[in-house]
Structure 1
């Protein structure tokens, strides 16, 4: 993705089902669980960039000794920082007893994070500040072990104010900025109530059935209590991803299937998807059960997971991204007038690479058809040279764009800063016949269009192509998100800006005014959740009209090379990613009422000149 919308949060959960001595004997290390937690987090490092945290619960600890430990970091490399600190603690122990790692009991007693239950989290902050206090897990401490709670998740809630009110809490400044704080208060409230009914053995199933119906948002959450109970749960629409794996040694859950497969070296079918509304509940004795906490609703798993967020090492995601590119090939052939001889195909590194392979595959299929037709039309009128020339013809592929460096410039003036942004990407010179070749460059999605305009299109223009075609493997991003992705300002979306420009050009500003009036009225009547009014701004125009306007918006001033933009359509997105139908970014069809409310609030903010989030 050339325009960073950054990443989702990531969750990692491990419950060891054997004594530490078992892992020492079987795998040669009492640190087996910690090593696996590190790997499980690193294999999801594509998700969180703002910080990370780990928590551990020790079982069967003598009264008076600590049993819940937590460590968080907002360093540049937070996972490495966390486990470096754990490593320092191990080294300190070895100073006094060099062979301590050979004694499982001593290690458990002296190393804080050597617990049977472990929870790891990678944070990307869509809400709250990017400092360590906002990193998950959050914890609640209590003298009663069963009322101690560590909670982390991949989610956003859009009803945090209501949640604080439901548990009669007047939130402080910190709590107002964190939706996890609101979720923590609600879950802990019902955990305490349940412990009053079932002292020292509260049913997490009962807690979740009371707490989670109150949450409006998409979420995968994981938690551990001080008495050794734990759970991982997914929202009723399955918006955020969750997978788990169980054997006689471990119970594992994470945000990505591939991370579990790699960390534990298991097959695809051994890692199961936690289905919408379900919770994986692990009892203090290590037994587990899957509970349907919320009645499953229409599955609306996030399509961006398949397009961009999740690692492409998952075989299903890899195939889906291939298909996304392949589905675009016919339309691109039409746009280049089937002139493969004078067309070069490339991609925006690095996440569009797999879709690029699918696009090229589609082009190769067409080229092979042409080869067969031509050869058949020759009859016997050919020689070895003529035949060889035909069968060796290939699709022209080049690595045109090179992501050079993530520039962090100290320059603040807009003009100078734009000059620096131009150099985030570099080009491969000598690949294009000037004025002859068309450049087709695929990106996985186009959000703001800023990097395309200020860097990529300018850069490609230096090669002197006849035409530049920018292709998006995702449809036009038109609507904000409120379920875990930092996309809640409408003015950031190039598709929205294109619609506004078209309305102004065609003398249709009354559509904007009417939408503004409608939303203000809805807000007065507390009805913002009832209709997505932003859809009205796109309705007068075809997808192609908006794409053409986007092409104009991403073309730098004075740029002479024609620029076209081609987007994936919704039908082909769903055909490519059949299990992840959450498409509200593109269609405005939100799975919960909070989505409409956020979307309308985002439009109101834009029209009132407020550069703030929609929630």
Structure 2
């Protein structure tokens, strides 16, 4: 395994050194939204494997902006490049790609939900096992990762990271099976939660999806070479052909002998994550046969059916609210206007010099388009509401720009419960809808009216007759509390359920 110089850098936390005020601002502006998960990509048998992987990761950048990494294999050695920051900050440079030779590669873009933002947590994780090297890229979150970690450490394991992904490496290593794929499946049988895995050995590219299919994983092909990745948009950027979704519970293996499929789990009713449609996936992706863009438009149209009021213009909260606002406008017949302009070039750790500027800090990212909203009754469309702090500032910004009335609509139901499958949401006490009535929320954000998409309306927009409580078609636990898997780690703590930090628990 090649260990480049940058892998020996200090484990830097991007929040280190910020003042309490700056930290509060960063949490205020960025904690009031859903946070991206992770994206994975792998390719087998292509001479430009690393360069293609970098392009695929660039298309998946929306799924994680904290770090990126690629591991390749050249027939004799593994090579690794991992960095904090965006894909383009590192992998657009030819000299970096040249340090990743070989015709097999896996890559990962990261937003951390377990483990701190430090270099040793950047994926793909790599380990030298008895049978050879293994690199793993993981999208999702294990709900028994902390429990397994404690057991492994008690039995002598030495952990090099604070992520739940490392648990998978250890489970593969300790399996007594003779064949690699059997050892890999042994590890999968011990884990719970949500996962889409893309793994690399010196001979194989392996993909695996959790039995409920909570996290997405698709199969594509480029020049006859198989590709595994999180979203179809990563196939589009490289001109690859989409073949199919990896099925829930499926393990697929590619090597010199072709393709091998394993289905080691009893069949379960799929429960894909509804937030892939609400927020996470790119609008141009196709997820489980559905266009994300069209689904979001359908959410907006359903909102217009359920909670329309007399208005003059429909205004999206950019960028994730745009498709729903288009759908709302088309169904209601009310004109669509870009009443808010987003600045895409604001750094995440921009430090505010004064309290007064801090309090209007949302204007760093969003500015009012006065010409489109002054003197008008407007309806703001956003994808979801978490804490409500940014929504409050946007409503105030609209009023300051001269809006006559400001109504707020959310293209998803109220978020009432935390997530344990890879979405970084606050504990229940930090969720506005879990602690306040609809009228209280309306008063807090300062809107003239407030409404959410109903649960049944969300399902109808997905082409279902409604939500079947006995057999929901999606993982909608953030709205309903109906978690699709065991929550082993949460049942073993007396604290309020939360997104576990392995770093905090291990220190």
| Counterpart Cα distance in 1 of 2:50 and 2:64 | 19
Matching residue of 1:303: 274
1:160 aligns with 2:151: no
1:403 paired residue among 326, 332, 342? 342
Consecutive unaligned residues of structure 1, counting only runs of 5 or more, are 21-31, 62-66, 91-110, 365-394, 499-545, 556-561, 607-611
Residue correspondence of structure 1 range 6-405 to structure 2 within 5 A: 6-16=35-45, 20=47, 32-59=48-75, 61=76, 67-74=77-84, 76-84=85-93, 87-88=94-95, 112-142=99-129, 146-167=131-152, 169-170=155-156, 174-175=160-161, 177-190=162-175, 193-194=176-177, 197=178, 202-204=179-181, 206-226=182-202, 228-246=203-221, 249-266=224-241, 270-283=242-255, 285-314=256-285, 316-333=291-308, 336=309, 339=310, 342-364=311-333, 395-404=334-343
Q: For 1:164 and 1:596, how far apart are their aligned partners in 2?
A: 11
Contact 1:73 1:82 (8 Å CA) reproduced: no
State the distance in 1 between where 2:143 and 2:479 align.
20
Match of 2:421?
483
More strand by share: 2
Distance in 2 separating the partners of 1:70 and 1:286: 26
Note the C-alpha offset of 1:89: 6.0
> What does residue range 524-535 of structure 1 map to in structure 2 within 5 Å?
none
1:573 aligns with 2:458: yes
* Contact in 1 for aligned 2:159/2:166 (Cα 8 Å): no
Give me the whole-angstrom Cα distance separating, in 1, the residues matched to 2:495 and 2:92. Answer: 40
Report the count of equivalent residues. Answer: 457
Distance (whole Å) between structure 2 residues aligned to residue 600 and residue 432 of structure 1:
50
User: What is the CA–CA distance in structure 2 between the aligned matches of 1:118 and 1:150, rounded to whole Å?
Assistant: 9
Secondary structure, in 3 states, of the residue corresponding to 1:299?
coil
Q: Distance in 2 between matches of 1:604 and 1:240?
A: 21
How is 1:379-528 mapped onto 2 (pairs within 5 angstroms)?
395-404=334-343, 406=346, 408-411=349-352, 416-432=357-373, 434=375, 437-453=376-392, 455-498=393-436
For structure 2, list consecutive stretches of 5 or more residues without a partner in the other structure.
1-28, 465-472
Q: CA deviation at 1:35?
A: 2.8
TM-score where L is the length of structure 2: 0.83
Instruction: Determine if contact 2:362/2:394 at 8 Å carries over to the other structure.
Output: no
Cα distance in 2, alignment partners of residues 596 and 207 from structure 1: 24
For residues 183 and 548 of structure 1, the distance between their equivalents in structure 2, rounded to whole angstroms, comes to 46
Secondary structure class of the residue paired with 1:331: helix
SS at match of 1:442: strand
Rate the CA distance shift 1:497–1:409 in 2: closer, same or farther, 3 A.
farther
How many angstroms does 1:492 deviate by?
A: 2.3
Aligned partners of 2:337 and 2:372 also within 8 Å: yes
Deviation at 1:258, TM superposition (A): 2.4
In 2, Cα distance between the equivalents of 1:137 and 1:318?
A: 30
| Cα deviation, residue 476, structure 1 | 0.5
State the secondary structure of the residue aligned to 1:402. Answer: strand
CA contact (8 A) 1:490 1:602 kept: no
In 2, Cα distance between equivalents of 1:564 and 1:314: 33
Q: Deviations over 1:449-471 (max 9, x none)?
A: 11111x20110111343421111
Measured after TM superposition, the shift of residue 149 of structure 1 is: 1.1
Alpha-carbon distance in structure 2 between the residues aligned to 1:173 and 1:55:
20
Q: Does the 8 Å CA contact 2:147/2:489 hold for their aligned counterparts?
A: no
1:564 has 2:463 as partner: no
In 1, the alpha carbon distance for the partners of 2:157 and 2:222 equals 42
Larger deviation: 257-266 or 344-353?
257-266
| 1:488/1:265 CA distance change after superposition, 3 Å | same
Equivalent-residue separation in structure 2 for 1:475 and 1:275 (angstroms):
27
* 2:140–2:421 Cα contact (<8 Å) kept: yes
Alpha-carbon RMSD across the aligned residues, in angstroms, is: 2.8
Q: Which structure is larger by alpha-carbon Rg, 1 or 2?
A: 1
CA distance, structure 1, for counterparts of residue 160 and residue 456 of structure 2: 43
Q: Check 1:600–1:182 CA distance in 2 against 1; reply closer, same or farther (3 A cut).
A: closer
Equivalent-residue separation in structure 2 for 1:237 and 1:141 (angstroms): 30
The alpha-carbon deviation at position 287 of structure 1 amounts to 1.0
Instruction: Decide whether aligned partners of structure 1 residues 123 and 210 sit closer, same or farther in structure 2, where only a CA change above 3 A counts.
Output: same
